[in-house]
Every structure is written in C-alpha cells, then in structure tokens.
Amino acid sequence: MTNFFCSKDCPDLCGVRVESAGGRHSFHGLPEKWSDPGFVCAKFRIFAEREINNGLKSWQLVDGAKRPLLSDAEAIEALAAFLAPFRDKKILYLRGSGSLAYNMACWDLLFAGFNNCWGVSGGPCDDTGCDADGADFGALINPEITNLEQADTIILYGKNARSTSQHLYAYLKTLKKQGKKIIYLDPVKTKTAGLADRYIMINPACDGLLACALLTGLGHENGHDIGPLLARAGVSQDDFEYLLACLQNGRTAHIKGVSIQRHGNGMNAYRWINRLAVKTGSMDLLYFGHPSKRRWEKPDAVFAGRIAVERLAEALAKGEFDLYVNVAANPAMTYPDSNRWQEGLSRTPTLVIDTNHCRTAEQADFFLKVGGMFAQSDFMGSYFFSHEYARDSLTSELSDVAAARMLADRLGLDLRLKEQARVGRIADVPQREYRTGALPLVMPETSDRFQLLTASHHGYINSQILAGMEQGLQVIHVNTVDAARLGISTGDDVRVSGPAGAFIAAALVTDGIAPNTVMCWKNIPMKEGVSNCAIPAQVTDSGSGLAYYTVFVDLHKV
Ligand SMILES: Nc1nc2c(c(=O)[nH]1)N[C@H]1C(S)=C(S)[C@@H](COP(=O)(O)OP(=O)(O)OC[C@H]3O[C@@H](n4cnc5c(=O)[nH]c(N)nc54)[C@H](O)[C@@H]3O)O[C@H]1N2
Ligand SMILES: Nc1nc2c(c(=O)[nH]1)N[C@H]1C(S)=C(S)[C@@H](COP(=O)(O)OP(=O)(O)OC[C@H]3O[C@@H](n4cnc5c(=O)[nH]c(N)nc54)[C@H](O)[C@@H]3O)O[C@H]1N2
Ligand code: SF4
Ligand SMILES: [Mo]
C-alpha cells in the first residue's frame, strides 16, 4: 500500500491510497473534514491510463525525421548534446500546470542556470484574481472551508463546482441538506445550477456590476444607479431583491470562480465581490483560488529576464529567442492565438518535456518523455482548501526530477533543489486586512457580436484528454433566440471567427446560455482548429492574467 496524491491542476488535491497487485493499481481517495468518505474523480483513471507505462519514447528530430531514443540514458545524453550550444544563447522557458507539485521547480532551477534564459511574467490561470486579493487584502489566503457551516447563504460566482471541484460540490450538497441556501451565478446553466436554490443567468463580466448594485441597495455605496447596472448584468429585479434579502437576513458566503477574472474587467469584478463580502461582515466567508505552495519558501530560480505572458507566441514567431523550452505545458492548445503559436513553434527550435505527446510536442525538435506524477515523489498544498500532501513515486519511470538531475550532471550545472525536509516552511501567512478606499467600477466591453466563453468540462482537465475523447464535445452552445435569428440548428457546423482566427464546431442550440453569449469546452481539438485560434493574446485589467473571455466572435453556418 502506498500513499499518493493527485497533483493535477485541480483545487481538490486528493490524497490517495494505492493498492498494487500484479502490476495493477487501485486508487482510493482519503477522506477530508469536508468530504467523508473520500473519493478520487473519474478523471484519475484517465491520468493513470495516459501516464503509467504509456509506451511513449523520447525522440530527436534529425534531418526532418524523428530519431527515437530508446533508453533514458540515451535520451539524456542526446539532450545534453542538444542543449550544450545554447549555454549562452537566448532561451525562453515556460512551465505549465501539468503537475503543480513543488519539485517541478527542478526545471526552473536547471534552466535558470543557463546564462541567458528568460522566464514568463503573468499567466493563463489565476494571476488576475491573485492581484485583486493582493491589492485589497495584502494577503493571498482562504478562510477554512468549514467556515461555510456558519453561513446561511452561499453564493457561487461562476464556480462550476460539479465539474471543476467535485469535493467542494459534495460538501455543498451536505450543507444544502443542513438548510443552507445556494445561489449560483453563471451565463451558462451548467450542472452546478441543479444544486442551487436559485440560479441566475447573469451576463458575462457583470459580477462586479451586480456586487456594486447590491452594495448600493444596502446603503454601503452611493453614486451608482441600480437600474442600469442590473439591466447590463441581465439580472431581474426579483433576483436582485432575493439576493438583497439573503444579505440582510443572515450570513452570506461568497465563492469566486477562477473564470470570472478571465475578463477585461476581471480584477475589478473580483474587487467588487471582495468589497461586498467585507462591507457585509463576511470576510471570513470569502473564497477564491490562491497559490498552492504558499506555505513553502520559493526555490531561488533567477532568470536573466521575464517576458510578459501575452507576448510569448509573438516573440517566438518573430525569432526573438534561440531556443524555446516547454515543460508540462501545452500552449499550442491552451494559450490564446493558436495560429501564432504554430508559427512561433515552427520558427524557433523547441524542446518539449512532457509525459504525453501533446499538441505542442508535435512541433518540437526534441521531445523528452518523463513519467509524470506517478513517477515523481513530491509535495504540495491545495489552491483552495487548507490541506497538503506528500507522496513517494509509484512507478520507476524517469521522473522530472531524476531527468533534471541527470542533465545538470552532464552539463556541469549545480541543481539546487532541496529535499522536502530541508525546504523552509512559512509559518505565518499574513491575514487579510481590507485596505481599499474608493473603488471605481469598470464596465465590461460591449459588442453586437457574440461573447465567447471557453469552459472546463467534467471529463478532462485543461488539455489532458485521451485521444478521441473530444468526439461529441466539439460543440458551440448558442442561445435559442440567437440561433433562430441566424438560421442555425443543432448539429449544423458553424465557423466561429474571432479577432485572431477561426475554428469550426457543431451548433448546440439551448436555452441554457445567456443571449449574445456562446460557449465551447476549452482546450480540445475542434472539428477544425481549436478554440484558442479565435482568441487573441490580451491581458485583463490587472495586466498580468490573460483575458480569454473578452473576445467577440461571428457565427456562420458552413
Ligand atoms: N474537470 C475539470 N476540472 C478542472 C479543470 C478542467 O479543465 N476540468 N481545470 C482546472 C483549472 S486549471 C481551473 S483554473 C479551475 C477553473 O474552475 P472554475 O473556476 O470553475 O472555472 P471554469 O470552469 O473555467 O468556469 C466556470 C464557469 O464560469 C462561467 N463564467 C464565465 N464567465 C463568467 C462571468 O463573467 N461570470 C460568471 N458568474 N460566470 C462566468 C462559465 O460559463 C463556466 O460555467 O478548474 C480546475 N478544475
Ligand atoms: N480558451 C481558454 N484557454 C484556457 C483556459 C480557458 O478557460 N479558456 N484556461 C486556462 C487555464 S485556467 C490554465 S491553468 C491553462 C493550462 O494550460 P497548460 O499549463 O498548458 O495545462 P495542461 O493542458 O494541463 O497541459 C499540461 C501538459 O503537461 C503535461 N504533463 C502532465 N503531467 C506532467 C508531469 O508530471 N510532468 C511533465 N513534464 N508534464 C506533465 C500534460 O501531458 C500536458 O501536455 O489553460 C488555460 N487555457
Ligand atoms: S483531478 Fe481533482 S478530484 Fe480528480 S483525483 Fe485529481 S485532485 Fe482529485
Ligand atoms: Mo487554471
């Protein structure tokens, strides 16, 4: 029996008990205070299938053909020779969220040891929201999740827990049975709406407007006109009064989804929700996604410089770097402006270090296959809950850390990755202290085209799917009234054109999406292209996070 944990980009951070017999493993989730009995989600089986002895080998492109590298020693030897000429060259280094555990920093430390290696500033995930909480509270921290037991009402702002945090969802179900009211705000009527006492189909990027209207209604704010704010948000007077009554007649918890900060005004929206929680005495009932390794000292990888996240594809396409190093990331699928990424990857020599042959690897010059989380002893905390776990490796495949150490040896670099026991703990994470005076309200962009949302699907995480799983998911959700106006029916192939390019998906006509809004599942191959072909690389009002959802598209039947 081995103790393990799942280090995928998922807030739940399941602790796992593994029983192995005859080369087969069975996985059992450990219970938590808020999730007893424990369980692992159905995706875990997919991770095991993708990553344990999946038969992939490393390879190097030689004269346009892939030369397979059959053993780990051969792969490391060839990679050391591949990297040697780049010791003083300008390198761009990107690490993604394939595994979020601490020891993945081995690669940061290795490449920061090259003389002119650049890291990235900002990111695709939670940077905007973290900047918001940093500005308002001077701290990135969540209250204990069990504080929810003190609430009478729980508001979920675009937090599709049923799909993206199944342990939170299980806890919400228990809390509902105890009599808590649940309110769910989302332009899309997702599976989480089924749990809610009230589902409100808010327009995208309008959560801050609603929070401001509520603060005005409660007398905490003036200078704003409630009527136009509600009209822009698509929130009815009845829903507004229901929310007001909840806030006035009991304690209300606020759970901010990561999604709502992926808009041009995403930081502002987060800050208005923060303000609503603070002014109604609920700072201890306010939740978001915070950094998962904040309780450990950071490994000291110092890069020669940093390039802004929205410039990555452009910089590679313009030939600003001699080498691109891509670790546990799949930007050809997951980052905006996919067509530009294709250009950049074909122009710049590229090393991909991954457990799978992802879309980005298809254009690599060197592919190093590692064993993934099952081969890696590691530790981390959750980015939402308070728990943390450590694990030993489960398989003997080449781990990221073993590969980085072997390379460091071959290249004569000092890899200063500490054992877990020697990594300093940060004992006193600062507490929240609200420090914001007046807060301007940033109105969302408007357009007569359709706002494109790209949401998580319960069956896979980010771009990590099994081949073929995208069948049946290559759809674009269109509101019934919009579809009638455009003459589009369910099953029609539709070209979705945005500022950066286009993709093709099958229409799925539904009343379960706000008018003038369309939605497809994120980060999978579409019938033609991928959703990020349509999405330009642009940042939110924090300047640090990508504004994936402030994009307006045209729909044409093909
Ligand atoms: N199964 C699964 N789980 C995952 C992931 C996955 O890909 N699959 N990804 C993981 C990662 S990396 C992250 S960051 C988290 C993300 O998890 P969440 O924070 O739940 O974010 P999303 O799933 O992107 O979006 C959730 C919902 O927000 C809605 N939404 C979009 N814009 C707005 C808005 O302006 N206001 C409101 N109220 N709602 C809006 C979308 O329609 C969508 O239904 O999930 C993690 N968990
Ligand atoms: N349009 C649109 N795009 C989005 C989003 C959106 O909402 N809309 N969401 C964004 C968000 S929130 C995020 S977090 C990003 C995520 O984007 P990425 O960071 O690209 O995340 P993944 O798709 O999970 O890809 C990670 C890669 O890591 C590999 N991998 C897995 N485990 C390991 C390991 O242990 N070691 C190594 N070396 N590799 C491993 C996987 O095989 C996969 O190819 O996507 C963003 N992209
Ligand atoms: S993806 Fe999330 S819910 Fe599923 S096993 Fe991993 S940590 Fe648990
Ligand atoms: Mo994310």
User: Which of 97, 261, 550 for a ligand 2 pocket mutation test, highest count of atoms within 8 Å of Cβ?
Assistant: 97
99 CB within 6 A, ligand 2: yes
42 Cα: distance to centroid of ligand 3 (angstroms): 8
Asked whether residue 351 is domain-assigned, the answer is: yes
Q: Are residues 317 and 413 in the same domain?
A: yes
Is it the case that residue 23 has pLDDT exceeding 90?
no
Which residue carries 């007569």 as its tokens?
448
| Model confidence pLDDT, tens digit, residues 237-291 | 999 999 999 999 999 999 999 999 999 999 999 999 999 999 999 999 999 999 9
Q: Is residue 355 part of a domain?
A: yes
Residues in the chain: 558
On whether residue 506 sits in a domain, the answer given is yes
Mean pLDDT computed over every residue of the chain: 97
Q: What is the CATH number of the domain that holds 526?
A: 2.40.40.20
Report the chain's terminal Cα–Cα distance, integer Å. 55
Q: Which token pair is 495?
A: 């070209």
Residues 143 and 24 in one domain: no
- 24-74, pLDDT tens digit by residue? 899 999 999 999 999 999 999 999 999 999 999 999 999 999 999 999 999
Ligand 2 pocket, mutate which of 350, 463, 531 (most atoms under 8 A from CB) = 463
Residue 472 in any domain: the answer is yes
Is the pTM here over 0.85, yes or no? yes
Q: Measure the CA–CA gap between 172 and 183, rounded to whole angstroms.
A: 11
373 and 282 assigned to the same domain: no
Residues 6+ apart with CB under 8 A from 511: 189, 479, 480
**H-helix or E-strand spanning residue 129:** helix 127-137
Distance of CA 54 to the CA centre of its chain: 25
- For residue 249, what are the contacts with CB-CB under 8 A and spacing of at least 6? 152
Same domain for 334 and 237: no
Atom 40, ligand 1: residue with shortest CA distance = 158
- CATH code: domain of residue 362: 3.40.50.740
pLDDT at 430: 85
- pLDDT value for 159: 98
pLDDT category of residue 81 using cuts at 50, 70 and 90: very high
The pairing of beta strand 552-557 with beta strand 450-455:
antiparallel
**Domain shared by 157 and 280, yes or no:** yes
Task: Give pLDDT, residue 24.
Answer: 87
Q: What is the pLDDT of residue 423?
A: 95
Mean pLDDT of 289-311: 95
Query: Does 371 sit in the ligand 2 pocket, CB within 6 Å?
Result: no
Distance 549 CA to ligand 1 centre (A): 11
Range of the domain at 282: 127-287
Atom of ligand 1 nearest to the CA of 43: 1
269 and 141 both lie in a single domain: yes
Measure the CA–CA gap between 418 and 37, rounded to whole angstroms: 34
Same domain, 372 and 462: no
| Protein residue closest via CA to atom 19 of ligand 2 | 96
- Which strands, in side-by-side order, build the sheet including 15-21? 2-5, 15-21, 24-29
pLDDT band with cut points at 50, 70 and 90 for residue 1: confident
Atom index in ligand 1 nearest the CA of residue 453 equals 31
User: In terms of domains, do 250 and 394 share one?
Assistant: no
Last residue of a domain, one of 398, 417, 436: 417
| From 46, 128, 164, 520, mutation site for ligand 1 pocket: most ligand atoms within 8 A of C-beta | 164
Whether 358 and 473 share a structural domain: no
Last residue of a domain, one of 36, 51, 66: 51
In terms of domains, do 395 and 490 share one?
no
Per-residue pLDDT of 158-195, as tens digits, reads: 999 999 999 999 999 999 999 999 999 999 999 999 99
- SS3 letters across 2-23: EEEECCCCCCCCCEEEEEEECC
Task: State the distance from the centre of ligand 1 to the C-alpha of 460, rounded, in angstroms.
Answer: 13
In a domain, 459, yes or no: yes
- Considering the domain boundaries, does residue 433 fall inside one? no
Evaluate: CB of 462 within 6 angstroms of ligand 2.
Answer: yes
The domain boundary, picked from 287, 319, 337, lies at 287
Please tell me if the CB atom of residue 124 comes closer than 6 angstroms to any atom of ligand 2: yes
Domain count, the chain: 4
Helix, strand, coil percent values for the chain (each to nearest 5) = 30, 25, 45
- Rounded to 5 degrees, φ, ψ at 80 are -60, -40
Which residue ranges have their beta carbon within 6 Å of ligand 1?
9-10, 97, 125, 157-160, 163-164, 185-188, 190, 202, 204-205, 207, 257-260, 263, 453, 455-458, 461-462, 519, 549
Q: Whose CA is nearest to atom 16 of ligand 1?
A: 258
Quick check: 22 pLDDT over 90? no
153 and 102 part of one domain? no
- Specify whether the CB–CB gap between 252 and 155 falls below 8 A: yes
* Centre of ligand 4 from the C-alpha of residue 499, in Å: 23
Task: Report the pLDDT value the prediction gives residue 406, as an integer from 0 to 100.
Answer: 98
Three-class SS of residue 133? helix
Q: Would you say residue 424 lies in a domain?
A: no
Distance, CA of 206 to CA of 444 (rounded, Å):
7
Mean pLDDT of 523-549: 98
Q: For residue range 412-464, list pLDDT tens digits in order.
A: 999 999 999 999 999 887 899 999 999 999 999 999 999 999 999 999 999 99
19 occurs within a structural domain:
yes
Note whether 33 and 148 are same-domain residues: no
Which ligand gives the minimal distance to the CA of 101? 2
